[in-house]
Structure 1
Amino acid sequence: MLILRSLLSNILFYINLSLWLVFAAFPALLLPRRYLHKVAIGWATSALWLMRITAGMRYEITGLENIPKGGLIVAAKHQSFWETFVLITLFPDPVFILKRELTRIPFFGWCLTKLEMIPVDRGGKARALAQVARRAKRELGERGRQLLIFPEGTRRAPGAPPAYKFGVAHLYGELSVPCVPVALNSGLYWPRRKFMRLPGTIRMEFLPPIPTGLPKAEFQRVVQEQIETASDRLLAQGRAELALLGLDPLAERR
């Protein structure tokens, strides 16, 4: 039954994505950016509903009161595709830092460009980081947008050793805005590069903002410590709930 539900969830997820791209996102490319953002929220909402009825995947988001108004950095743990679209629904004008290759995907990449996301050439290192910082200053300072970033740069399996890049600390120092750390356990239920979708409640937690003014090295330590500590707590909670169903993806992997 779990395999069949996962299969159905996967099929309907990508069918739903394709339909939204063709019949809503593509026409919205001709309209102001805010309309495409509304389309993205509509698609994300429908995707979450489909995952609930097909795979039994629910979600719970706490700590939204910790999000200050105005320009800020949102530094989130990255375990699954799930958080990449859920975060978009929670902010009035979000901007992601993402790898440039994504903008070259037909339809999907065009939407990212229209939404004015910030592409980065991961092979460019210092020069690319400087370009991203200049663009982010404009988006946050002049337009008051919210910068969404995954400090580890790519999805990490639940329980894997942290691999935080220095980019988030550099941006924190350059932008002079508060940073809200985000913990989650989505990788338990929607593992990276895995077919299975497990039933249960994905949890995402927004932690109190880190104020401006910390030295970059100190900020790097603090943001990693806060995200990892909270994510480990959510991971333990999720594993305990899955164990009651006779499921524990981490135990199976080991």
Structure 2
Amino acid sequence: MIQWLRSLALNVAVYAWLPVIGLAYLPWMLVSRRGARAGCRRYCLDVQRMLPVMVGLHPEIRGTPPTGEGMVAAKHQSFLDVLMIYGAVPRGFFIMKSILRYAPVVGQYGMRIGCIPVQRGRRAEAIRHMLAQLAAGERRGGQLIIYPQGTRVAPGADKPYKVGTFAIYEMLGQPCYPVATNVGVFWPKRGVLRRPGRAVVEFLEPIPPGLGRQAFMETLERRIETASNRLMAEAGFPVGPPPHPPVGDPLRRAVHETTGLPPLEPARERD
């Protein structure tokens, strides 16, 4: 009960702090994109500073966040991983739901940092829009943050990786930085309760540009899911075998769909 009340207080503080930061950085945001980025980054870091004090949750960034241009493809479990990833990169921006343009503070700052609004179900339009802006020089680089599964996925749940991720990767011609996390164990998709522990976001080995669709999708899913399962197990969450074979492996997928049995794991390479 006490942890629930502390979590409720945290939730109130998280949302109450948003307009405070929005107003404090408003003059700078209006004249410079740097001001908008600084305000967003300040908010992300301030929320992370609240967590240990209010609910005993300690955020941790592992790996090396990108500083140059590239695509960040992340496991998405809750609002917290959004804050941690954006706070770790210098010039992040998102493809966001069009309706968020009208949300107080979030919409104004999102548009100012370069987020691309798109209506649900029109991701191809968003990709074309983004590439047109890049070609026109309207965007001065940065880190495009996307979620390959397209939505928040609770720990232990399964959602396929969308091939639209490859379309963006191929068109950008930039490195892709996979990101794993276990934050959903402590900050769930729904509900008030925030659990104590160590919430980790881990930047993994980048995937170089130029891979084909099958190789890219298999590599991306394998790296993110393997590392996320490791982090969730580290947090005490029971992690089972993968619920489906990797994308693009027709033989293992056919066996799985025909028999209903879990697919065999590929042999590990010897050191």
TM-score normalised according to structure 2 size: 0.81
1:135-189 superposed Cα distances (whole Å, 9 cap, x missing partner): 456679x623111111112111011113221221101111111111000011111
**Are the structure 2 counterparts of residues 139 and 198 from structure 1 closer, same or farther at C-alpha, using a change threshold of 3 Å?**
farther
Q: 1:240 to 1:164 in 2, by over 3 A?
A: closer
Q: Residues 230 and 3 from structure 1, CA distance in 2 versus in 1: closer, same or farther, beyond 3 angstroms?
A: same
Say if 1:13 and 1:51, in contact at 8 Å, map to a contact too. Answer: no
Which residue is equivalent to 1:161?
Answer: 158
For 2:122, the equivalent position in structure 1 comes to 124
* 1:80 Cα offset (Å): 0.6
C-alpha separation in 1, matches of 2:81 and 2:135: 24
1:251 aligned partner: none
Q: 1:30 to 1:133 in 2, by over 3 A?
A: closer
Q: How does 1:132-211 map to 2 (within 5 A)?
A: 132-135=130-133, 143-211=140-208
Distance in 2, Cα, partners of 1:135 & 1:199: 42
Higher alpha-carbon Rg: 2
Q: 1:102, 1:109 within 8 Å by CA — same for their partners in 2?
A: yes
Amino acid at match of 1:45: L
The Cα shift of 1:8 comes to 1.4
Aligned length: 237
Superposition TM-score, scaled by structure 1 size: 0.86
- For 1:102, the equivalent position in structure 2 comes to 100
Residue 87 of structure 1 is matched in structure 2 by: 85
Q: Give the drift of 1:101.
A: 1.6
User: What does residue 113 of structure 2 align with?
Assistant: 115
The aligned amino acid for 1:143 is: R
One-letter amino acid matched to 1:168: T
Residues 155, 240 of structure 1: CA spacing in aligned structure 2 closer, same or farther, 3 A cutoff? closer
Taking CA–CA contacts closer than 8 Å with sequence separation of 6 or more, which of the two structures ends up with the larger relative contact order?
1
Q: Deviations over 1:14-51 (max 9, x none)?
A: 11223222x32433332201012111122122111112
Cα deviation for residue 70 of structure 1 reads: 2.3
Aligned to 2:39: 39
Instruction: Give the share of equivalent positions with the same residue, in percent.
Output: 37
Would the alpha carbon gap of residues 225 and 54 (structure 1) be closer, same or farther in structure 2, given more than 3 Å must change? same
Structure with greater helix share of residues: 1
Give the root-mean-square deviation of aligned CA atoms.
2.1
Gaps of 5+ in 1: 242-254
In structure 2, distance between residues paired with 1:106 and 1:182 = 29
Q: Do 2:86 and 2:92's aligned partners in 1 also have CA atoms closer than 8 Å?
A: yes
Please, which runs of 5 or more residues in structure 2 have no aligned partner?
239-271
**Among residues 206, 212, 216, which one is paired with 2:213 in the alignment?**
216
